[in-house]
A and B are shown apart, each in its own frame.
Chain A
């Protein structure tokens, strides 16, 4: 059950991903593609993979990037490494992940990137209820609005 049931993105979630639905209907932006990447266990692999990903994004030269993560804990290393890399390349980016009161990033958000917290449970905890703490349409709207704001 991934890290926890409430943040788990099911196959249906990917099929009906609110981030892509929103971007696909937007008047100002369009999705140029979706890069999916695995979160590895060890630090050397994390660095290697995020480095390759960053190089790829640099070559694609998008006007902006939305980075979402279905995980927390040590995975915030990958998340923050990527946001830092995008920031160094001057690519405007907004992140989304579960933080709440339980999943404070284990590494600092040194790029000071805007991150939308997808926690929705009253106590900010992993509730073991499927569908409670992952990205919904409202989170997607926030992320896209922030991206537009930062791009101007």
Chain B
């Protein structure tokens, strides 16, 4: 590789760790293929207390999706930065586990626009699609309720995502510490400025009209909330992402 080409290379390394089992424990950790997650006395951070009444976490074993849920707000991968900023350096991520976030109001009613995915998870969610868990995944089900009198406003929806992010951050913090050589798979993505292929631009038009028509761009952690900006707050104006930023979890969907 010429010096010029090498200088123009940006590198993202994604190390994948496979989870064999998910169990409850007093503190989050990842050990010998088992992911331990918290489920008791889950606190809500100060600014979320007026908006959310409770956070509950369940573990669903692979294939055991016959569980009634209010509307599915999001499916969130678990990944963290170990070195560098989003889009470069090293990322650790987990396979074999997915997070499903659900939200209902104080009375248990789901938010809905044209439709709602309230119902049994196995009937309301296909598995093995790009945006849904694998059929072999453990699912960490995060269930949130709004407080009495709080509606599905922008504030309420953002609070739900923030609460889930706070919960996942404890897992991410553990994931940062695991042995960098003990991965199941390793993917290296190099960005070369010039190697003769045709340049194709991806343009993604995404909802930016309020509450559940929003997305966050460029969080501190892959697929996270903290540090990101809402596209509505950015005036819905275009944001350019490098392919490595995008594949490193630059978007958090609030749709």
Tell me if B169 counts as interface (CB < 8 A to partner A): no
Give the docked Cα–Cα distance between A151 and B240 (Å): 24
In-complex Cβ contact of B205 among A4, A32, A69 (8 A): A69
Q: How far is the CB of B221 from chain A (nearest CB, A)?
A: 12
In-complex Cβ contact of B125 among A35, A36, A69, A130 (8 A): A130
Report, as a range, how many residues of chain A touch the other chain: 35 or more
Given A11-B77, A13-B130, residue A38 in contact with residue B206 (CB < 8 A): yes
Contact B234 A38 (CB under 8 A): yes
Tell me if B1 counts as interface (CB < 8 A to partner A): no
Task: Return the CB mask of B229-253 against A: 1 if under 8 Å, else 0.
Answer: 0011011111111110111011111
Residues in A with CB closer than 8 Å to B75 are 10-13, 130
Given A3-B113, A36-B215, residue A8 in contact with residue B253 (CB < 8 A): yes
Given A8-B255, A28-B197, A31-B243, residue A36 in contact with residue B204 (CB < 8 A): yes
- Count of inter-chain pairs, beta carbons less than 8 A: 283
In-complex Cβ contact of A10 among B114, B208, B253 (8 A): B253
> What is A's interface to B at a CB cutoff of 8 Å?
1-6, 8-21, 23-24, 26-41, 45, 49, 52-53, 56-57, 60-71, 75, 78-79, 82, 126-132, 134-137, 144, 147, 151
> What is B's interface to A at a CB cutoff of 8 Å?
71-77, 79, 98, 111-117, 123-127, 129-133, 189, 195, 197-210, 212-215, 217, 222-223, 231-232, 234-243, 245-247, 249-253, 255
